[in-house]
Amino acid sequence: MIGRLEGRPCEVQPGSVILDVHGIGYRVSTTLSAFDRLSTAERVVLRVHTVVKTDAIDLYGFFEEAELAAFERLISVAGVGPRTALAVLSALSPADLVTTIDAGNVSSLQRTPGVGRKTAERIILELKGHLTPGGVVEGNQSLDAVSALVNLGYRESDAVKAVELARAEGAGEDLAATLRIALQTLTR
Query: What are the DSSP calls for 142-187, one per residue?
Result: HHHHHHHHHHTT--HHHHHHHHHHHHHTT-TT-HHHHHHHHHHHHT
Q: Which of 55, 109, 52, 121 is nearest to 84 (CA)?
A: 109
The count of structural domains within the chain is: 3
Cβ neighbors of 116 (< 8 A, separation 6 or more) are 110
Half-sphere exposure of residue 37: CA atoms within 13 angstroms, side-chain side = 14
Q: Which of 20, 11, 4, 15 is nearest to 39 (CA)?
A: 11
**Whether 50 and 88 share a structural domain:** no
**Whether 123 and 159 share a structural domain:** no
Each residue's pLDDT tens digit, 120-139: 999 998 888 777 654 444 45
* pLDDT (0 to 100) of residue 133: 53
Greater confidence (104 vs 187) lies with 104
Establish if 11 belongs to a structural domain. yes
Range of the domain at 19: 4-62
Establish if 86 belongs to a structural domain. yes
The DSSP symbol for 21 reads E
- Round the average pLDDT of the chain to a whole number and report it: 87
Look at residue 107 and tell me whether its pLDDT is greater than 90. yes
**Whether 100 and 76 share a structural domain:** yes
**Whether 102 and 151 share a structural domain:** no
Each residue's pLDDT tens digit, 158-167: 887 888 888 7
CATH of the domain at 98: 1.10.150.20
d(CA 54, CA 37): 32
Whether residue 4 contacts residue 15, with contact meaning beta carbons closer than 8 Å, is answered with no
Establish if 135 belongs to a structural domain. no
Q: Please report, for residues 98, 100, 106, 110, 120, the alpha-carbon distance to residue 117 in angstroms, rounded to integers and kept in the order given.
A: 18, 14, 7, 6, 5
CATH of the domain at 148: 1.10.8
Each residue's pLDDT tens digit, 51-99: 999 999 999 999 998 899 899 999 989 889 999 999 999 999 998 999 9
